[in-house]
Amino acid sequence: MALVAVIPCQFGSEEIIDISRYVTPPNQNICEFSLSVSDNHTAHGIGTHLMLDLIAHAKENDLQEMRRYVLSKNLKMLHLVSDLGFQISNLDDDPDFKTVSLSL
């Protein structure tokens, strides 16, 4: 599943400002998500909105959990997922990453 946020530009074209998606491993009820927001459009709620839509789609598709690895330095992403109810865990073998997960 992939969701895209676009804004109109000059001459009738559009600019992609956010992409969120999830992928599911074969025969599993979990998914790994990704989120990418254009630097010029961060902190406007666009990522939150698409993540909420992505979570809703995952629930509709009977998935049980969303997860991903997040860089420990990526405080914006960690704050976003925390606000959305994700659990944040440290990795024992790699302090540079955290695991975030949400039971659906």
- In the chain, what are the domain boundaries? 2-103
> Can you tell me the mean pLDDT for 49-62?
93
Distance CA 97, CA 73 (A): 8
**What Å distances lie between residue 30 and 41, 55, 75, 101, CA to CA?**
29, 12, 24, 10
For the chain, report the end-to-end CA distance as a whole number of angstroms: 16
Tokens representing 46 are 């666009």
Q: Give this prediction's pTM.
A: 0.84
Question: For the segment 18-44, what is each residue's pLDDT rounded down to a tens digit?
Answer: 889 999 988 899 999 998 887 676 777
The yes-or-no verdict on residue 70 having pLDDT over 70 is yes
- Domain 2-103 falls in which CATH fold? Aminopeptidase (3.40.630)
CB 17 within 8 A of CB 41: yes
Distance CA 94, CA 59 (A): 30
